[in-house]
Amino acid sequence: MAEALQGWKRTCLCAELGEQDVSKEVTIMGWTQRRRDLGSLIFVDLRDRSGIIQIVFDSSMGEEVFKKAERIRSEYVLAVKGTVVLRDEDTINSNISTGTIEVKVKELKILAEAKTPPFAIEDGVGVQDSVKLKYRYLDLRRPSMQKNLMMRHKIAAITRDFLNSEGFLELETPILAKSTPEGARDYLVPSRVHPGKFYALPQSPQQFKQLFMISGLDRYYQIARCFRDEDLRADRQPEFTQIDLEMSFVEEEDVMDIAERMIARIFKETIGVDVKLPLLRMKYDEAMERFGSDKPDTRFGLELKNVSDLLKDSTFNVFSGAIAKGGSVRAINAKGCAKILARRDIDELVDFVKIYKAKGMAWITITEEGLKSPITKFLTEEEVRSIVERLEGEAGDILFFIADRNDIVFDSLGHLRLKIAEKLGLIDDSVYNLLFVTEFPLFEYDYETKSYTPMHHPFTSPRDEDIDIMESDPGKTYAKAYDMVLNGIELGGGSIRIHSVETQKRMFKVLGHSDEEVKDRFGFFIEAFDYGAPPHGGLAFGLDRIVMLLTGSKTIRDVIAFPKVQNASCLMSEAPSTVDKQQLDDLSIKILEKQ
C-alpha cells in the first residue's frame, strides 16, 4: 500500500552525498535499482536522476521497518531517513560516485509499489526500440537518457544566456497560423468557429520573425516548436525544435558571427571543446566540387576531381555523352583500397551509388603489374594516363568514376566518399570540424516539374550583384545564404532576407506564382513591407541535432523526450487516434472511406 510523505522533505539527491557527509542525518527519495537480501541485512541501490547510492536496512533497526524493507522490489519508490556512514573497505564500489559511503536507514516509507518492468532500467540492455518507445517513461529512467535530456536543458539555458547578453528578446510566434504551403506539407487544424477553414501548425516561424523586424524589435530569438507533415526518413520527426533568431540592420557576417560565438560557448560549456573562431568559410561551389555535398565532412580526404576536360572528346560515349548533355565526369581516388576492397565489395559500391540515381559506376584498379578495369579498353592511352595523373593514382589505389547530370554526380560521389571512409575507418569521431558553407544558389532546378524552386525559402535575398539576372538567368543567381556544418551534418542555416517589395515580387515571379496566389498565400506578409522593412537576416539551428551530436547519440530519438517513430505515430500514447463523432460534427468534418 502506497504511503504519503506526511511532511517528509528531501534533504538532497542521492548522488550529491559524499564522504564529507559522513555522520550526517539525511532524507533521500528515489527508485529501487536493485535489492539484495542477506538475511539480517538488506541492501538497496536507490536511484534518482543524480545517480545511485546504497542504503542499508539492519534487522536491529526494529521489526516493523525491517519487515517493510523485505517487501521492497525493483522500481519501488522509496523515501528513507538515515545516517551517512563509510562503507567497509572490502565493499567499496568504484563504479559509482557514492561508492565509498552508504546510508544506514532508520525510517522508511514505500511511496509506490511497481510491477516488474518489461526491461531492466539500466544502460546497455538489449531491448527492441519498439518496446523502449512503448514504455518511454521507463526508458527515460535510464541514466543515459536522463543525461541526454539534462544536456538538452543545459544547451537551451546556455543559448538563452548568450542571446540575452547580446541584446536579443525571447519572443513567441503563433502555433495556429495561416497555411502558406512551401516545401513540406502543413499539419492542418480545423476551426470549429469557422467551419471549413483551417489553421496550419508552423513549419518554422519564418514570416512572423521577419514581421518582428518590421515591427522594430531589432533582435529576436525563440526556442521554437516546428511541424512538418512529410514522409519521414531516418532521424526525421514530424515535430522538432529549433533555436530560431533574427536580427535587423545586418549583413551575412554579422549573423554568422553571432551564430558561431553561440555555438563556441555551447561546445565549451557542455563538452569542454574550444572551437577556433572565426570558422572556415567555404563557398557552395567549392564544397560541391571538392566534396560533392553542401554539408561537407572535412575530417578526411577522398575529395572529388573533375576529369570532364580530359574526356569530352573521348570515343567512350558513356563519358563524352554525359559531358555533351551538360553533365560531367568526376572521380575519387580511394587510396590504398586495392588490397582492401574485393571485387564483390566494388560491386556493392556500384549498387550503392544507384540509390542516388547514378546509372552505374566505372572503376580502375592500379596494381604493381598495371591497370585492371572494364573501361580502359574504351579509352586511349593518353586519356588513361591523364586521368591517373590528375587523380594522383598510385599502385594500390582504386579510382571510381560517375558520369551523369551534375546533381547526380555530386550526390553519388558525395555519398560514396562517406561510405568508403566508413569502410576504411578514416573518420575520427573525436574531431569536431565546423565550417560555414556560403553563397548558395538562390534557386534549384526541379527536373520533374521543369521549374525553379527556392533552395532555402522564397524570402532569401539574392546577392546584390545577381539581382538583375534573377529572371533572365535564375540558375546562375546566388543567395546571401549560409549553413553551419559539423562533420558532414547541417547544424543550422539562414540567410539575409529580402526587404524590398519589388525584389520579393520578382522572386515570386521566378517561382511562377501569380499576383493572386501571392496575395492569397502571403498577402498580410507582403503588405507589411509597404510600411518600411529594415535589412534583416537570421538563422535557425536544429536543437535536437545539436544535442544528438554533443551527447554522441546515434539518433535524435534518444534526445527527444517523447519522439514519434518513422510513420509519425507514438507507440506509447497511440497517437494519432480516432475521435468521437461529436467532435467531428462540431468541426463540420466527415471522414470519407479511402478507396
pLDDT (0 to 100) of residue 449: 86
Mean pLDDT of 306-333: 96
State the CB neighbour count (10 A cutoff) for residue 53.
Answer: 29
**Overall average pLDDT of the 185-192 stretch:** 94
How far, in whole angstroms, is CA 382 from its chain's centroid?
Answer: 47
222-231, 346-355, 516-525, range with the lowest pLDDT: 516-525
Q: At what angle do helices 543-551 and 143-165 cross, to 10 degrees?
A: 130
Whether 313 and 404 map to the same domain: the answer is: yes
- Closest Cα partner for 497 from 531, 526, 460, 522? 460
Q: Is 579 strand, coil or helix?
A: coil
- Judge if 371 and 389 occupy the same domain: yes
The pairing of strands 280-283 and 434-438 is parallel
The residue whose grid cell reads 578514416 is 426
Specify the pLDDT at position 35: 96
The amino acid occupying position 162 is F
Distance CA 312, CA 319 (A): 7
Phi-psi region of 323 (alpha: psi -120 to 50; beta: other; left: phi over 0): alpha
Question: Would you tell me how many other CB atoms lie within 10 Å of the CB of residue 151?
Answer: 19
Residue 339: what pLDDT? Answer: 87
The domain that holds 30 is classified in CATH as: 2.40.50.140
Do the domain assignments include residue 95? yes
Same domain, 407 and 526: no
What CATH number corresponds to the domain at position 188? 3.30.930.10
292 found inside a domain: no
Instruction: Mean pLDDT check: name the lowest of 17-26, 171-180, 263-272, 444-453.
Output: 444-453
Say which CATH number the domain at 377 has: 3.30.1360.30
522 pLDDT band, cuts 50/70/90, is confident
Q: Is the pLDDT of residue 232 over 80?
A: no
Domain that holds residue 464: 440-479+500-533
Under DSSP, the state recorded for 326 is T
| Cell numbers at 87, concatenated | 562503507
Q: Do 145 and 271 have their domain in common?
A: yes
Query: What's the rounded Cα separation, in Å, for the pair 75 and 164?
Result: 41
What is the amino acid identity at position 243?
A: I
Gap between the Cα atoms of 28 and 15, Å rounded: 10
Cell 565549451 belongs to residue: 268
Same domain, 507 and 454: yes
Both 196 and 257 in one domain: the answer is: yes
C-alpha cell of 301?
A: 580526404
DSSP code of residue 492: E
Q: In this structure, which amino acid lies at residue 279?
A: L
Q: What is the mean pLDDT of the chain?
A: 95
Q: 272 and 147, same structural domain? A: yes
- If 0-12 CB within 10 Å is exposed, 13-18 middle and 19+ buried, where does residue 369 land? exposed
Q: How far from chain centre, in Å, is Cα 169?
A: 25
Residue 181 confidence (pLDDT) above 70: no
Q: Does 462 fall in a domain?
A: yes
Residues 446 and 357 reside in one and the same domain = no
Judge whether residue 182 has pLDDT over 80: no
The H helix count followed by the E strand count for the chain is 16, 22
Amino acid at 332: I
What pLDDT does residue 164 have? 98
pLDDT one-digit tens code per residue, 408-438: 999 999 999 999 999 999 999 999 999 999 9
What is the grid cell recorded at 408?
Answer: 547526380
Residue 444 covered by a domain: yes
Q: How far apart (Å, rounded) are the C-alpha atoms in residues 574 and 134?
A: 9
Residue 472's H or E segment, with its range, is none
Q: Are 136 and 149 in contact (CB under 8 A)?
A: no
Q: Among 533, 555, 577, where does a domain finish?
A: 533
Assess whether pLDDT exceeds 90 at residue 106.
Answer: yes
Q: Which of 283, 289, 490 is nearest to 406 (CA)?
A: 289
- Distance separating alpha carbons of residues 533 and 239, to the nearest angstrom: 31
Residue that finishes a domain, picked among 427, 458, 492: 427
Distances (CA, A) of 407 to 38, 295, 326, 444: 69, 14, 11, 10
pLDDT grade for 322, boundaries at 50, 70 and 90 = very high
Q: How far is CA 242 from CA 10, 102, 268, 365, in A?
A: 36, 43, 20, 46
The pLDDT tens digits for 577-595 are: 999 999 999 999 999 888 7
pLDDT of residue 183: 67
CA distance linking residue 579 with residue 92, whole number of Å: 56
pLDDT in tens, 365-421: 999 989 999 999 999 999 999 999 999 999 999 999 999 999 999 999 999 999 999
Same domain, 271 and 229: yes
Mean pLDDT (whole number) for 28-42: 95
pLDDT at 231 over 90: no
Give 136's strand partners.
none
Tell me: do 413 and 338 sit in the same domain. yes
Nearest to 238 by CA among 249, 247, 227, 246: 227
Q: Is residue 94 part of a domain?
A: yes
| HEC sequence for 121-180 | CCCCCCCCHHHHHHCHHHHCCCHHHHHHHHHHHHHHHHHHHHHHHCCCEECCCCCCECCC
Task: Tell me which residue of 110, 108, 105 sits closest to 60, measured CA to CA.
Answer: 105
Query: With bands split at pLDDT 50, 70 and 90, how would you rate the model's confidence at 62?
Result: confident
Statement: residue 521 has pLDDT above 70: yes
Grid cell for residue 445:
532546378
Q: What is the pLDDT of residue 234?
A: 66
Average pLDDT over residues 260-287: 98
Domain assignment present for 291: no
* Half-sphere exposure for 173 (CA within 13 Å, toward CB): 28
167 has a pLDDT exceeding 90: yes
Q: Please report, as a single letter, which amino acid is at residue 256.
A: M
Q: Please say if the pLDDT value at position 208 is more than 90.
A: yes
> Does residue 161 fall inside a structural domain?
yes
Reported confidence tier of residue 474, pLDDT bands at 50, 70, 90:
very high
Q: What whole-number distance in Å separates Cα of residue 281 and Cα of residue 310?
A: 30
Residue 457 has pLDDT above 70, yes or no: yes
User: Looking at the structure, do residues 475 and 448 belong to the same domain, yes or no?
Assistant: yes
Omega before residue 195 within 30° of 0, cis: no
In DSSP notation, 331-356 reads EEEETT-TTT--HHHHHHHHHHHHTT
User: Is 27 domain-assigned?
Assistant: yes
Contact between 251 and 543 under an 8 Å Cβ cutoff? The reply is no
Pair (182, 275) in one structural domain: yes
**Domain count of the fold of the chain:** 4
| Alpha-carbon gap, residue 101 to 17, rounded angstroms | 8
